Amino acid sequence: MLTLIVNAAQAIAERITPERPDKGRIDVMTRRAGDWAEIGIRDTGGGISRENQPRIFEPFFTTKDVGAGTGQGLSIALRMITENHRGKLFFISRRGYRYELFHPPPA
């Protein structure tokens, strides 16, 4: 989850300019969805461009400048959530990012 929150903060930081000094917002929501725990993370960043959406969970894919990102965070988060916890991770890109994490109950 920390990776998702860090990505949200970075997306907000990319939008801050002298003309738009708004600090942005990150919302973390939780709820029970049947037998699953749902965790949603939403921010006021710029969103994920349509051309990058199919690739955001690929290892080493980044939209950041060289040296600013390794492109491993989301691929590791996806693997940990799906393989280690048998959960689901997906995103909805509208106004800003929104990641949804579904975690099954403990066995």
pLDDT band at 85 (very low <50, low <70, confident <90, very high): confident
Structural domain containing residue 65: 2-103
Mind spelling out the 3-state secondary structure of 47-70? CCCCCCHHHCCCCCCCCCCCCCCC
Q: What is the CATH number of the domain that holds 92?
A: 3.30.565.10
- pTM of structure: 0.79
Q: How many domains does the chain have?
A: 1
Query: pLDDT tens digits for 33-69?
Result: 888 888 888 888 888 888 988 999 999 998 887 777 7
